[in-house]
Chain A
Amino acid sequence: MRRLTGWLFDVYAHGDDVSVWLIDDDGAAHHLRDRLRPSFFVGGSAAELRRVCEWITRARLSARLARAERYDVFAHRQRVVLQVQVQIPAQYAAIVRRVANTFPTLDLYNADLSPAQFYFFERNLFPLAYCQVRVDDTRAILEITTDDSRWALDYQIPPLRVMFIQLEGGELNPNHGHRAPLEITCDSRAYVIATHDRRQVVERVRDYLLRFDPDVIVSRWGDSFILPQLLDAARRYRLPLPLNRDSRCSPVMRPARSYFSYGRIIHKTLAHTLLGRWHIDLENASLLDYGLEGAIEVARLTQQPTQQTVRVSTGTGISAMQVSTAYRQGYLIPFHKSEPEEFKTASALLTGDKGGLTYQPIVGLHFDVAELDFASMYPAIMARFNISPETIHCRCCPDARVPEIGYTICRRARGLVPETLAPLIEKRMAYKRRLKQAAGEPQKEFDRRRAAAHKWLLVTCFGYLGYKNARFGRIEAHEAVTAYGREVLLRAKDIVEARGFRVLHALTDSLWIRKRGTPEAEYARLAEEIARATGLPIELEGIYRWVAFLSSRVNPHAGVPNRYFGARCDGELKLRGIEARRGDTPKFIQKAQLELLAAMTSARTRAELAARLPHCLEMVAARVDALRAGQVPLSDLAFTYRLSRDPQAYATNTLNAIVARELAGRGVKLNAGESIRYLITDYTAAVPSDRARATEFWDGSWGYDVERYTEMLLRAVETILLPLGVHAKMLQGWLAQELPVQPLRARMEDKRAHEYLGPLFEWSNRSVASIRSHIAACPQSSRGGG
């Protein structure tokens, strides 16, 4: 017997046991095994359960049967069920499938957990927990414990050896035709395998794997291209390829799939996960804005293996956390649940089915604005008011009612959802508190990423509560949350208005308010007062030097709730709904907008903003010059578009359809939900296929459409400058006067150019005072509350 300490790196079923990988303090990997007997439950009448017992016995399935009693959350009572304890963990999924297919009308519970989840739940462990282990001479675990906690703010991550693998020119999609030598980076050194001989490629990759023995393989397009190609070549030439650390098994492959989520189609490519080693494909990972540190935090919290965590949505993560709570409390975990919405009167539906309150902002530029945000409002409501599928319509608490809709909520028993969320909210708040205090930069970045990961988990928990097929979803619970949300926002609005503030904008859980000359301390007092009145924490998100709420492009008189930008007093920019935030906008245009905004950030008044306009226009001119001179890197001009259907299903000749057809014509198999990247070559070309080209097939014989890119650039510039009264026509007129051969400064000082810009731009012969007077004369709609 010996003792080991280290981080729990990987767990999976193999043979009669589970394989457990531990990485010790020196970075050495240890392959251990442990015993696990996962159980699922079958619900039905006594006669039905008897039939199941008989069938399992006759079928000689490797399972032990027992009568058990477990709590059914939706029935609000203990239920007698048949416990099927699977003796070989690797057979668990197959046995569940056989029982489900043979008895399709019976209810199954705890029937779709992975062996790793069972292991974590049974041993009270989680991925990357720092463990103490006792093992025997055969490497069988005798005891495994941890002092580590999922809720610990500070924890160590093991010293992981990372190998990066991609094709040269990594951003280009090899599934869409890009071909280049394989590039492997390890220990800060890059190795290029520049050969077309597939046998040699496999041999070299094998050599690097044996030489560096990485814990993690990070790749670009590894799931869908590099690993399948390597495995195929290894099979063909009968070469060993130790992608797994566990040489007994092959990498686990999961087929590609497309599905709808939040109104859009998502495509998940083929996935390859490894055993005893991680594979993370950056092109197939949901790392959002939190990166690998955040993904590790999500894996620890949700008790899902890291390789799965990065390949599923955060919604699956929050669902896994609820499953963990239910398992701990001995509740039955529904397998295929379908909880239909209960019948309601038309009037009750009108009252309940409203969602959050979304005000229209007062369009224009506003100065000295404060933003107050309820911290994780919906999850906080669930935790504070005990909203959970099993606590709604409580019969024992007739007096505890949801505002507006009047549903009763249990006050005696803590709900499963609040039980899951409360520590998560607390942990996020703790990180946010630390972020506000001065800390070292690396630590701050860790905290930021972990808090961002929590944010995504908390955001999705609300959607899952209202999803009838979610294990612990119930529409009435979802309605209760939004009803509390509306009540809380209106109370907050009443309070700020009573204190003399003007509400410029309000959006579900945040308020933008303004009162001239308000000191920061008053905002803090206001937040405290609102928190007292509503029972929910609210924070001063920031004070803005200026914020611009933009109008709709269709109706310029109307505001749009989610299209604004502003500069905080701490210099940070906040952008929503503008081109710089959109994933499909070319980087060139994003950079142009960010550059303009950076130049405007420090301005405190309308006159100061106007004084920066000449500099802003110089920057725009420089961008146009670069476009015309062909100096913009092509990667910065590429549009990214997610296909909403199969290429042949497009009826019109949009650029997306043209490029999708081009790729399909070249033999690339595209699926709905996949992304394509392309450049505009000639937007007005008579032949549709000349209008745009996929980046992977852009061979240099085509130029890009300078006019079209200039037009799009000016449109993006208009978004930023419109609150100051500068629209695209003004900018086009000004550019029409440009002479590309003249030096920039000379052009800016050419009076003829100014004629096209209106009085605001005649800065060269006007004082700031005259600009101020011009702005004062601007119509109210463009000045807002300034």
Chain B
Amino acid sequence: MGRTLPTATQLIREFEETWQPYLRALRKEDRDVVRQLFAMIRAQSAPIAYASSPDPFQLFALAMLGGILKKVIRLERTVAAECENYAHRLDACDD
């Protein structure tokens, strides 16, 4: 009934545990950044499980990159909206 191979969640947890000494030595603010990276991997645990790669680190790296890119895209959209807003206000001032 039990599984033969570790689940994706177990693999992610093991991966996080191997980095514990590194995390411990980091400054608090840096540690939080790394935790966010780990959370980005966890957020994709289902696709990682489904892909079932013999080298899960490739998938972990992709998940972290994807998470960072999502943040960049969100920031880009916010900046673009702010710029547009600012431009409207400038136009209004000109009028």
Min Cβ gap B59→A in Å is 12
| Bound form: Cα–Cα A467–B43 in Å | 31
Q: A346-B54, A557-B39 are in contact. Are A358 and B4 (CB under 8 A)?
A: no
Residue ID in chain A nearest B54 by CB atoms:
A350
With contact pairs A358-B9, A467-B1 given, residues A351 and B42 touching in the complex (Cβ less than 8 Å): no
B42/A350 in contact, CB under 8 A: no
Contact B5 A350 (CB under 8 A): yes
Residues in B neighbouring A353, C-beta threshold 8 A: 3-5
- Contact: A558 with B39, CB < 8 Å? yes
CB–CB A360/B43 < 8 A: yes
Q: Interface digits, B3-26 against A, CB 8 Å rule (1 contact, 0 not)? A: 111010100000000000000000
Does residue A190 face the partner (Cβ distance < 8 Å to B)?
A: no
A358–B50 CA distance with the chains assembled, in angstroms: 10
**Which residues of chain A have C-beta atoms less than 8 A from B45's C-beta?**
358-360
Tell me if B36 is interfacial: C-beta within 8 Å of chain A.
Answer: yes
Q: How far is the CB of B54 from chain A (nearest CB, A)?
A: 6
Residue from B3, B42, B49, B54 in contact with A555 in the complex, judged by beta carbons closer than 8 Å: B42
Q: Enumerate chain B residues within 8 angstroms of A780, measured Cβ to Cβ.
A: 74
Contacts of A347 in B (CB 8 A): 54
A350 to B44: give the CA distance in the assembly, Å: 18
CA distance A668 to B52 in the complex (A): 50
* Closest A residue, CB atoms, query B67: A557
Min Cβ gap A609→B in Å is 25
Residues of B within 8 A of A490 (CB): 50
Asked if A358 and B49 sit within 8 Å, CB to CB, the answer is yes
Q: Which of A467-481 contact B (CB under 8 A)?
A: 467-468, 473, 478
Q: Which residues of A contact B43 (CB under 8 A)?
A: 360, 558-559
Taking CB atoms, residues of chain B closer than 8 Å to A341 are 4
Nearest chain A CB to B43 CB, angstrom units? 5
B7 touches A355 (CB 8 A): yes
Binary interface profile of B, 30-57, with partner A (CB < 8 Å = 1, else 0)? 0000011011001111100110111000
Q: Which residues of A contact B35 (CB under 8 A)?
A: 555, 557
Total number of A residues with any Cβ neighbor in B under 8 Å: 28
Identity of the chain A residue whose Cβ is nearest the Cβ of B43 in the assembled complex: A360
Measured CA separation A347–B42 after assembly (Å): 24
With a cutoff of 8 Å between Cβ atoms, the chain A residues found around residue B52 in the complex are: 350-351, 354
One digit per residue, 1 when the CB lies within 8 angstroms of any chain B CB and 0 when it does not, for chain A 318-358 equals: 00000000000000000000000100001101110111011
CA distance A306 to B67 in the complex (A): 55
A463 interface hit (Cβ, 8 Å): yes
Asked, given contacts A350-B5, A358-B9, A360-B43, whether A555 binds B38 with beta carbons under 8 Å apart, the answer is yes
* B11 shortest CB reach to chain A, Å: 12
Q: Knowing A555-B35, A557-B36, A558-B39 are in contact, say whether A360-B46 is a contact too (CB < 8 A).
A: yes
CA distance A351 to B49 in the complex (A): 9
List the B residue with the shortest CB-CB distance to A358: B46
**In this assembly, does A267 line the interface, its C-beta being within 8 Å of a C-beta of chain B?**
no
Residue of A nearest to B35 (CB): A555
Most A CB atoms within 10 A — which of B35, B36, B43, B44? B43
Chain A residues with Cβ below 8 Å from B38 are: 555, 557-558
- 14 contacts across the A-B interface (CB closer than 8 A): A341-B4, A349-B4, A350-B52, A351-B52, A353-B3, A353-B4, A354-B50, A355-B3, A358-B46, A358-B49, A360-B46, A464-B1, A557-B38, A557-B39
A: residues with CB less than 8 A from B are: 341, 346-347, 349-351, 353-355, 357-360, 463-464, 466-468, 473, 478, 486, 490, 506, 555, 557-559, 780
- Seed contacts A341-B4, A559-B42; 13 additional CB < 8 Å A-B pairs: A350-B53, A357-B49, A357-B50, A463-B1, A464-B1, A467-B1, A468-B1, A490-B50, A555-B38, A555-B39, A557-B35, A558-B42, A780-B74
